[in-house]
Amino acid sequence: MDDYILSCQDLTVSFKDSEPPVLRGLTLGVRENEFLVILGPGQCGKTVFLNCLAGLQLPTEGAVYYRHNKVVGPGRERGVVFQKYALFPWQTVLGNVAWGLKSQGVSKEKRRAIALKYIQLVGLSGFENAYPQTLSGGMKQRVGLARAYATGPKVLLMDEPFGALDAQTRYAMENELLILWEKEKRTVIFVTNNIEEAVFLGDRVILMSARPGRIKIEREILIPHPRSYTDPTFLALRQEISAETDLAL
């Protein structure tokens, strides 16, 4: 456990005593600056798992550790990017990105400088004063990324951030996320139901099975970046993981 920045031990989550647990006995360690993908079909409990890591959900049994400290709630060392953006509609792009810094007590000028830096990094320069409702889905999620990065977390937890985007926009966003990550390495835990996305992004992929949610297989992805979606090695790995995935009917 010493080598891991974030880890969990025998994590179990139940919501109803009468039903099987949503997650059962998950043990996992995440290396510093690793890009880890949690992959699973619908309803397998991957969002619940991410919420546990974020401290938004407390486990029924077992525990989550940030380095040696037990996680008992959200913390600024762990930033979250949500599937449905969760932007404040009454705040501009700049206001949204700077929001977390304000609650950390950062001065106004410094907030502005940091927020502008990340807005530029995600390619939204010129939209600082736009409101979320005037932005496309891809642009909203860029704001979500900039906001998560701006507060300086060591770990970024991303819950299907590109799930609501159309396929072509998703490809573009996957590329941009990797460019951002290369520029400013962080530990990323990325939840998705998309096998192609998992193989494209991850250093390592954890495949979960459903009811109860458990780790089914684990794969290190050694294909160098930039990866091609139609390279034979890529497709073979996709096929291999797909064969192990449960049909979530």
Q: Name the residues that contact other proteins, by CB under 8 A.
A: 40-43, 163-164, 166-169, 172, 193-196, 230, 232, 235-236, 238-239, 242, 245-249
The strand pairing partners of 187, in sequence order, are 155
113 versus 167: smaller Cβ distance to other proteins: 167
56 versus 172: smaller Cβ distance to other proteins: 172
14 versus 194: smaller Cβ distance to other proteins: 194
Minimum CB separation of residue 122 from other proteins in Å reads 16
Minimum CB separation of residue 83 from other proteins in Å reads 10
Minimum CB separation of residue 136 from other proteins in Å reads 8
Beta-carbon neighbour count of residue 40 at 10 Å? 26
18 versus 129: smaller Cβ distance to other proteins: 18
Minimum CB separation of residue 75 from other proteins in Å reads 28
204 versus 238: smaller Cβ distance to other proteins: 238
| CA dihedral over 50, 53, 55, 61, signed as positive or negative | positive
Minimum CB separation of residue 57 from other proteins in Å reads 17
- For residue 188, give Cα distances in angstroms to 147, 168, 170: 15, 23, 18
Contact predicate 206/49, CB 8 Å: no
Which residue do the tokens 């992929």 mark?
Answer: 205
226 versus 232: smaller Cβ distance to other proteins: 232
Please give the Cα distance from 87 to 108 (Å, whole number): 20
Please give the Cα distance from 236 to 230 (Å, whole number): 10
Helix extents (H) in the chain: 46-54, 93-103, 108-121, 137-150, 167-183, 195-201, 232-244
Minimum CB separation of residue 145 from other proteins in Å reads 19
